[in-house]
Structure 1
Amino acid sequence: MLAPRENPELLGHEKAEGELRRLAEARRLPHAILLSGARGIGKATLAFRLARFLFAVSARSESGLAVDPESGVSRRVASGGHADLLTIERAYDPRRRRLRSEIIVEDTRSIAGFFRLTSAEEGWRIVIVDGAEEMNRNAANALLKILEEPPRHGLLLFVSHNPGRLLPTVRSRCRHFVLQTLPQAVVLRLLQQYRPELAGSEAEALARLAEGSIGRAIELADAAGLTLYRSILGILAQVPGVEIAGLYALAEKLARPDEEEIYRASVELLLHVL
């Protein structure tokens, strides 16, 4: 599955795409946009799609926000090399050798300096904050001045699966687009495209379990989700006389530090069952 900045395709969010295009063409695009919805449904993909559309005037499609994937703009966005696009997300902590648990103020302070620079291509300067709910209070507060006095041709795109965790002062200054989960048929189509090795019955079962999220469907596929699902159902069916050996075997598998995908998939499946 392609990363959002690389992905030229988006299914299931045509209404939001159409409205964003209408606002852009009418020159009424707000300076701050919040894209929210369940995890793994294409929010970040839509954010990068809008950025490409605003950058690539000559390579646009006739409808929606699609841009020629072979265009120079698409290639620069995909590689992270577009000078007018800045992405903010949780950064790597070299001391702990893992991603930080939150977006910190040092990350968001760079946004003000970015917007002060002149556009390299005489157009938009765009910042995408992916996982905006992960900003701590100081990081969010550092954005307030920008939101109150937005730069001309500057756009802040917030991507969040939990917008309730955003500061109200940030949330209230954004135009909010709530993206819906994907139809099961769309999840199935995408799953067959990204994981063609799956048998038809497996793909259909995973699409049902994914509850409208292609991201979740991919996670389940990569973590042997159907096998996990059957194991969990088997254990729950034994309640109250659960076989301890089987329970310990599952717990031991989930506790392995190198099995994060399986752990996350198991949590998702338990929530689905319960």
Structure 2
Amino acid sequence: MKDSLPEPRLAAPLYGHQAAVQQFEESFASGRLHHAWLISGPSGVGKATLAFHLARRLLGGSDLSSPAGRRISAGTHGDLLTVARKMDPRKGQLRGEITVSDVQPVQSFLHHTATEGGWRVVIVDGLESLNRFAANALLKILEEPPPKAVLFLTTSSPGALLPTLRSRCRPLVLSGLGGGDMRALLPDLPEEILQRAHGSPGRALFLAQDRDGICASLVARAMAGEELDHDNWVIISRLARDADGFALVCDLLGEALAARAREAACSGNLALAAGMAERTRRLGQIRMQSERFNLDKAEAIREALALARSGPED
């Protein structure tokens, strides 16, 4: 059963996002290629995959079997640098943020001569994870770009970025993949999950982790205003120990709160719609703080589910 996707560095061919590719190709063909591209879109839609696809285009590695293509796949190409959240060896999980020490190598990399005489490319994956110092360091780099250098910056939350950082980038806004591309990428997933993923392959795989429906059941009971019993607390404790349990509950709960907000707005109940939107915002804060500061996940799940059970006045 195909229930995984290739790493963005290894993905070929590219599914979807042809409009974004065309924008880039037109800029490239004009001879005035912009030095920084902000690739935004829903989580799991393929932003990093597109970034590597465009990097391969610049570095002559579109053919994965070519020498440049193999070096990109192996992570050994001298003219490609990637920046993302790093693994914390003590905790065995990704760190909550990208720090200034992660960004600092970009400056020296971009000011060295390209090892293969062409472009130098930097991919920063997950721009919303930059802490304040890292964001300022990256901004300085964008303000003084060297020639023959391109940065591809990905984010699921462009509104959370520094306006000055966004203004120095050319946007590539990605939408969800079509049904044909989704089925081609994930042929063994149920159609119901593909539909709920709204064109995001990563989200489809994420939703498929709730194979027994435990997370969905918890969220449904909370949204119905039910009090959770002892058995549910045992389940929550188990989910908190799972690598993706907390994130999955938050994702499903956020989807449910947003749907409730839309229903309220369509029926003219603007006060309820505003209340649901505020709970969605608070859920995002709970998730961000818990993941960034490695807080107790069981307590965070309880706090998140309590948002659904709060009364209208809350």
Q: Which residue of 2 aligns with 1:100?
A: 95
- Higher alpha-carbon deviation: 95-104 or 170-179: 95-104
Question: Aligned-pair distance for 1:225?
Answer: 4.0
For residue 244 of structure 2, give the secondary structure of its aligned residue in structure 1. Answer: helix
Cα distance, 1:254–1:173 mapped onto 2, change above 3 Å: same
Q: Distance in 1 between matches of 2:134 and 2:92?
A: 22
SS in 2 for 1:215: helix
Partner Cα separation in structure 1 for residue 111 and residue 147 of structure 2: 10
The one-letter code matched in structure 2 to 1:38 is P
Shift of 1:226: 5.9
Instruction: Give 2:213's match in structure 1, choosing from 219, 227, 231.
Output: 227
Q: Report how many residues are paired.
A: 253
Q: 2:247 aligns with which of 258, 261, 264?
A: 264
1:130 offset after TM fit, Å?
0.4
Matched to 2:49, the amino acid is: T
Indicate which of 128, 132, 135 corresponds to 1:133: 128
Q: Which one of 35, 47, 51 corresponds to residue 51 of structure 2?
A: 47
In structure 2, the gaps of 5 or more residues are 258-314
Deviation at 1:164, TM superposition (A): 1.7
Task: Give the structure 2 partner of residue 16 of structure 1.
Answer: 20
> Using the alignment, how far apart are the partners of 2:233 and 2:207 within structure 1?
21
TM-score (norm 1): 0.84
Counterpart residue number, 1:73: 68
Task: Confirm or deny: 8 A CA contact 1:12 1:182 kept in the other structure.
Answer: yes
TM-score by length of 2: 0.74
Q: Which runs of 5+ in 1 are unaligned?
A: 60-66
Q: Could you say which residue in structure 2 is the equivalent of 1:178?
A: 173
Aligned counterparts of 1:188 and 1:226: Cα–Cα separation in 2: 22
Classify the secondary structure of the residue corresponding to 2:77.
coil
Write the distance in 2 (CA, Å) between the matches of 1:273 and 1:135.
Answer: 28
8 A contact 1:33–1:176 mirrored in 2: yes
Structure with the higher fraction of residues in helix conformation: 2
* RMSD of aligned Cα (Å): 2.2
Q: CA deviation at 1:112?
A: 0.9
| Counterpart for residue 147 of structure 1 | 142
Residue identity matched to 2:205:
I
Question: Could you tell me the percent identity over the aligned residues?
Answer: 42
